[in-house]
Amino acid sequence: MIKRDLHVHLYGCLSAEDLWLIGKDRYKKHQTSLSWYAQEYAKAWGRTPQFQEYWKSDSGLDLLKADYIFAKPNNFARFQANFNLIIALCSITPDSFDIQEKIIKQVNQHGLEYFEARTVIPIKLQDHKVYKYLQGLCKVVKTLNTELPMQTRIVFSLFRDNTLASKAYRQLREFMKSHPELSSVISGIDFAFAEEGSPPKSKKALFQQFKCDNQNDRPLDLLYHVGESFEDKGIISAIRWVWEADQLGASRLGHAIALGVNPENYKEKMVHEAVEERIDTIRWLIEHEEVLKEHGYQPNIKRLKRELNTLKETKQKTVTITYNDDYIEDAKCLQRAVIRILKTKNATIETCPTSNLRIGQVSSPIYHPLKLFQQMGLNCVTCTDDPGIFAIDWVSEHRLAQKIINMDLANCTE
Ligand SMILES: [Zn+2]
């Protein structure tokens, strides 16, 4: 089984039962946030959850389970709608860490040796309250690390928005400077939440600051959710995003589905990619022709230059990309070249099989990226992402990873 989880969101570990128990004592006081949850849920799912019944009805736990557990593949907006129940019931405050403590103790019971949990720095709190929160959370984790066999580290997930990310990052570094002992349980920062619209290159300044701080202060890992969701562009541009995140210095790449998913997964699909995105990708292919060629991918430079000239003149906002046979073959070849290049740089992918099948639009385990990563010897760690909401655990996730690795594509009829 998985002994260390390096990509897991702390609150995503809450099971339906946990939430039901938490809500039992709180739901009357959390009516406003629960009404918000119900409204958002209705927008995503087209039906309003009867949240009052979760704690009033005899079958309340079953109702909550049906609304909360994300058991089947669906889109990210619906996943978020389910996750909102956690947000509605478990507001983060600087005064209480009961829930965080409960989660860590429960995960410990699963026999994990190392638990690197991601959580957020609450953006609505004033600075002094943020420091109080960081202090309280680190204290709890430090104490639990002396009591439990499992060692926990905290990673703070930052928003993609540069202003919000910079503010939280500054607060974190200031806290680390003033509390070197306590902050030793913090192992990194992460970029999470909606990926579309925030290319890694937009983080250049922040990444440079991070590198500089890592030289002057205690170094942290830089983790990055990338290539997980690319509804707004073709897979070739999404592969470029994974490359860019690595180039900018990410210590580990979260999901990187685009880099390894079998592009047949999207056969005949059409996407509308922004012209600027396509231009960025063409320039990237031209600029890196040599290294890509050395690793088995030959960009068609003449054709790319022609396309670039046309796109520079166009008044259109998007280009249509169709996953036809040519595009799929091209993407497969590019994936392999980029994997070979990332291997030379010792890149590590955090792969989350269930998450990718349920919210990552990977339609079958036979297309899962882990298969290719494993075949090509790219460093990979299997992780659970949000085990509570997916109703999985470290044993079942390990089994799924093994199933994917052992799958024989040739004998598969799916
Ligand atoms: Zn994640």
The rounded Å distance from CA 330 to ligand 1 centre is 28
Q: Where are the domains of the chain?
A: 12-90
Pick from 152, 166, 230, 148: nearest CA to 203: 166
Pick from 149, 29, 135: nearest CA to 89: 29
pTM of the model: 0.95
Q: Is 349 helix (H, G, I), strand (E, B) or coil?
A: strand
The rounded Å distance from CA 223 to ligand 1 centre is 10
The rounded Å distance from CA 398 to ligand 1 centre is 17
The rounded Å distance from CA 363 to ligand 1 centre is 19
The rounded Å distance from CA 355 to ligand 1 centre is 8
The rounded Å distance from CA 7 to ligand 1 centre is 6
The rounded Å distance from CA 119 to ligand 1 centre is 10
The DSSP call for residue 159 is: P
For 148-178, where are the alpha helices, taking DSSP H only?
A: 162-178
pLDDT digits (tens, 9 = 90+) for 120-166: 999 889 999 999 999 999 999 999 999 999 999 999 999 999 999 99
The rounded Å distance from CA 33 to ligand 1 centre is 24
Q: How far is CA 116 from CA 156, 182, 198, 243, in A?
A: 10, 16, 25, 24
Contacts of 362 (CB under 8 A, 6+ apart): 257, 261, 265, 356, 368, 369
Contacts of 274 (CB under 8 A, 6+ apart): 232, 233, 317, 318
Name the helix (H) or strand (E) containing 336: helix 325-344
Beta-ladder partners of 151: 114
Euclidean distance between CA atoms 8 and 313, whole angstroms:
45
The rounded Å distance from CA 325 to ligand 1 centre is 31
Q: Which two tokens stand for residue 168?
A: 């939280």
CA 157-163-165 angle, 5° bins: 15
The rounded Å distance from CA 383 to ligand 1 centre is 9
The rounded Å distance from CA 278 to ligand 1 centre is 27
Whether 373 and 260 have beta carbons less than 8 Å apart is answered as: yes
Euclidean distance between CA atoms 341 and 294, whole angstroms:
9
The rounded Å distance from CA 192 to ligand 1 centre is 7
* Each residue's pLDDT expressed in tens, for the chain with a length of 414 residues: 889 999 999 999 999 999 999 999 999 999 999 999 999 999 999 999 999 999 999 999 999 999 999 999 999 999 999 999 999 999 899 999 999 999 999 999 999 999 999 999 998 899 999 999 999 999 999 999 999 999 999 999 999 999 999 999 999 999 999 999 999 999 999 999 888 899 999 999 999 999 999 999 999 999 999 999 999 999 999 999 999 999 999 999 999 999 999 999 999 999 999 999 999 999 999 999 999 999 999 999 999 999 999 999 999 999 999 999 999 999 999 999 999 999 999 999 999 999 999 999 999 999 999 999 999 999 999 999 999 999 999 999 999 999 999 987 554 433
The rounded Å distance from CA 77 to ligand 1 centre is 15
